[in-house]
Structure 1
Amino acid sequence: MENFYLLSYHGFFLEYDSDVGIYEQSIISSTKKMSRFFLLDTKKDKSVLSFFEKLNIKESDNFILIHHENFYLTSLPDGTLIKQEVKCAGAWEYFLKIPEEFFHKFYQIVNKHWSASGEIIKKRDIYISENYTVNLGNYCLDIYDFMNGFKYDFSNPNCFSFSINDRNIEFKEVFDSEIHKIIWVESLGNIANRALQYLVAKAIEERTSNLSIKNVNLPEWGMQKEHCELELENSCIISELDFWFDIRGLSQNLNNGNIDSFKIKGYPFNVDFYPSRKNAKMYLPNFSDFEEEIVGFNEEQIVFNIRADEILHGIHADYLVLPFEYYKMLEFKTGLKPVFFGQLANNPYIEKLKEEFPNALFVNGKGARYDFEVLRRSCNIAISVSTFSWLAAWLSDAKNIYVPLAGMMNPCQAVGQNFIPRNDPAYKFISFPLCRSECLYKHSERFWENLSYMARNMKFISAEEAYNIFQRVDTLRNKKQGLGGFDPRFYIKKNYKDMLKPGNGLEHYMHNNTKIQEAFPLKEREYLIDYPEAGIIIANGYFSSVNEYHSFIGTHIGNKCY
């Protein structure tokens, strides 16, 4: 008895559904159930169900045609399978017979990494392309040549070989953990922005095996930028406007070899992207190289970190100073002695602040590192609208940390950013209305009106209320793109006009508004039968589709997508 799987000209195998018959085709992948592929018994099968009707099977040497009169099954380059009328069957209508034994062996090798002649071949680079060409990294050969020289023993699954031009090439399995990955940090901005980029890299490192972080520019912690730019291939990048990305899915793509590197060239300000506070304090320890011992403000004081220099010019719409009533509210609420610390150079805002608090302590800052450490060692911190202030507090052991949800820290204004730690009793939150900055010097009247408007509409809210606001805005306005389950071999097939290499697939997917249906193949009906809990979660409004559920949840708990 001879059984064959059927391979299209474009490198897809035909699939079979008991109700519909043959109506789709797909690549071999680790998430693909082998039972989904159509297996032909040439001795027995003279017809087959396809698109709900019986079609004839016609053999032509090593090929099969599936048709009824002049209507033939036709394979399209993007993986679509159609039935159409053709006058004369061409390459797209012919399906190559692949012996069952070879198919089962090939299924094993395409789902692993291999090394040969000192070169590592990632599983993403093992696939069948147009004109029945087998690709194994830099090796490209006709499938007949490959089958004739291919040797694989199920009893020894960690190696295989094939012969070409009288040369035998040995392959040995390489595990995910053996493949080196890189995160390249394009450091941007002040000490806090650069440190937050680094913490994102460390969070990915915690999830990823055998990873190096390069080009970190944090001389404040003894980490120096690289002297030369590293040429990154098979990489993807987050840019300055990418405030949110699927960090768990990204880590999965690094781990399984879909990409070799990741470049952080943006401002991913989201507490969910960072390591735990405990680990972050370990990665960014206290500064201890000052000549004088640095002492923070004590438990009887509340330190108001003041940023009142360049932002008074309205340099960014979401960088704001806070109304004086805010400080009075916290002084009254806490009963602590107010200390104003930071940028206190003379200007109309600081002058009025001093008038409002004649008995308060005003302490000028002495530079970024010193100010950062003073804040970090203080007991009660009321931060400004500033990543510098936020990070110093987050790395502290402060008993109370007060966060104004204003400007860039207001979820409504900086969609995708998140400055709201969950389940941390030290954090208290004050909500503010949506408000943009004004230049104190050019639009003085509007500047003071802004502060009055903010003061009238501020209030304390609980941590749960703060996070609920973030979640509502995040759900409504942050168009999240899941990266989990991404299949680069499937993706380049769906985007064959634009893509040449699987290693560049994730970068293309992230930055071209591609539909998630092209990230990996998924059969909704079968998926919901196998994983009924997915249907319940989707029906409750947590995800918009089965594809989205699989990308964010299913792939990480071992679900197969088809």
Structure 2
Amino acid sequence: MHVLEFLGLKRRRIPVIVRPKARLGNRMLQYMFCTALAHRIPGAEVFNGDMPEWSIPAGRPDVSRNRTLRVEGGHEFDIDAIVREFHEGRYRAIEWSGFAFRIEYYDREWVQPLFDGSEISAPRYGDDTLVIHIRAEDILDGSHKNYWPLPFAYFDKLINETGLRPVFIGQTHDDNEYCRRLRARYAGAEFSPRASPVFDFEILRRATHIATSVSSFAWLGCWLSSAKTIYLPVAGLADPRQRPDVDVLPIGDQRYKFHLFDLGTWHASADQFAYLFEGDGRFEPITHDQAAQLKKSRAVA
């Protein structure tokens, strides 16, 4: 028991305020990071998660601007330094803005209950099925250079090598060339009906064998799952050679099987689309030791 509780006094509430931005996967990471901060500060409570999909409300308490520690950045943060600065200063609140897509900040044990999908009636795909998540939609115009759509040759490889029945979920029903060609190429496969993001998230979370896309949202669904096998493409945002500030390779988690891609940045050029539809190769399996060395070499550089 804390000494204040022993004396019958209330602890001062410490607001940790999220400044949410971007799409749902990024907002989940932002909420997770602020929760990681709150775990280190007695009396801290996270506000303004703003994810009605997960019943996490918007709204922030009134705080003094002069007593609020403001932290902004991208993906790399020193949690120890933030906590130390908070305790050493005159602060009574933290306001945080960033993305924080680095696995070192998080633990599945406390992240899992933050996003309760138990009431969502998503199907559970078992041992005979490979659930393949598709990211398309907003990334197809090339404006997100670190978000590659994945080549059909990669799906062919996974389907042929595993012998599993493919089920495609995610952004598969949009009227664009990638989705049209995908549905035609795998006409005999199952395509999950168009659904809400959290419905797709729960499909990933409950699946036995999964192939994730280059997507923070899909990555989270796979990481929080009870899957036996997770195929992760080391490409774009997930490639330490391209984004050393991001770390999404769960080294040592034996559920994961990595394929290293040699793609560079995504510009949505005609040649790149031709590769997605008809190309062969430019990716190979790597071991966990090789993935760890890849991360280490980028850290040294």
TM-score (norm 2): 0.87
Change (3 A) 1:348 1:410: same
Q: Distance in 2 between matches of 1:377 and 1:237?
A: 37
Q: Distance in 1 between matches of 2:295 and 2:162?
A: 26
2:129 maps to which of 287, 297, 301: 301
Instruction: Report the residue type matching 2:113 in the other structure.
Output: M
Whether 2:98 is the aligned partner of 1:266: answer yes
Q: Distance in 2 between matches of 1:451 and 1:412?
A: 25
Instruction: Report the residue type matching 1:403 in the other structure.
Output: L
Q: Could you give the per-residue CA deviations for residues 306-348 of structure 1, whole angstroms, max 9, x where no partner exists?
A: 1121211112111110111111111133221111112122432
Instruction: Report the residue type matching 2:218 in the other structure.
Output: S
RMSD of aligned alpha carbons: 2.4
Residue in 2 that maps onto 1:247: 79
Instruction: Report the residue type matching 2:159 in the other structure.
Output: E
Structure 1 contact 209–255 (Cα < 8 Å) conserved: no
Change (3 A) 1:238 1:466: farther
Q: For residue 304 of structure 1, report the CA deviation from its aligned partner.
A: 0.7
Structure 1 contact 438–447 (Cα < 8 Å) conserved: no
1:342 maps to which of 138, 156, 170: 170
Q: Could you give the per-residue CA deviations for residues 50-84 of structure 1, whole angstroms, max 9, x where no partner exists?
A: xxxxxxxxxxxxxxxxxxxxxxxxxxxxxxxxxxx
Structure 1 contact 233–260 (Cα < 8 Å) conserved: no
Q: For residue 459 of structure 1, report the CA deviation from its aligned partner.
A: 1.0
Instruction: Report the residue type matching 2:270 in the other structure.
Output: S
Matches within 5 A, 1:294-443: 294-344=122-172, 345-439=174-268, 443=269
Q: Distance in 2 between matches of 1:229 and 1:410?
A: 41
Q: For residue 391 of structure 1, report the CA deviation from its aligned partner.
A: 0.9
Unaligned 5+ residue runs, structure 1?
A: 1-176, 477-562
1:463 maps to which of 257, 268, 288: 288
Matches within 5 A, 1:460-539: 460-476=285-301
Q: For residue 227 of structure 1, report the CA deviation from its aligned partner.
A: 6.0
Change (3 A) 1:356 1:181: same
Unaligned 5+ residue runs, structure 2?
A: 1-9
Residue in 2 that maps onto 1:172: none
Identical positions, percent: 29
> Max radius of gyration: which structure?
1
SS at match of 1:364: coil
Instruction: Report the residue type matching 2:110 in the other structure.
Output: N
TM-score (norm 1): 0.48
Q: Distance in 1 between matches of 2:62 and 2:198?
A: 27
In proportion to residue count, which structure has more strand?
1
Change (3 A) 1:333 1:254: farther
Q: Could you give the per-residue CA deviations for residues 84-142 of structure 1, whole angstroms, max 9, x where no partner exists?
A: xxxxxxxxxxxxxxxxxxxxxxxxxxxxxxxxxxxxxxxxxxxxxxxxxxxxxxxxxxx
Change (3 A) 1:268 1:238: farther
Whether 2:111 is the aligned partner of 1:285: answer no
Q: For residue 422 of structure 1, report the CA deviation from its aligned partner.
A: 3.0
Q: Distance in 2 between matches of 1:388 and 1:376?
A: 11
Q: Distance in 2 between matches of 1:452 and 1:270?
A: 33
Instruction: Report the residue type matching 1:410 in the other structure.
Output: D
Q: For residue 263 of structure 1, report the CA deviation from its aligned partner.
A: 2.1
1:232 maps to which of 56, 65, 69: 65
In proportion to residue count, which structure has more helix?
2
Structure 2 contact 47–60 (Cα < 8 Å) conserved: no
Change (3 A) 1:213 1:349: same
Whether 2:271 is the aligned partner of 1:445: answer yes
Instruction: Report the residue type matching 2:86 in the other structure.
Output: L
Instruction: Report the residue type matching 1:279 in the other structure.
Output: W
Q: For residue 406 of structure 1, report the CA deviation from its aligned partner.
A: 0.8
Q: In terms of mean alpha carbon deviation, does 461-470 or 187-196 score higher?
A: 461-470
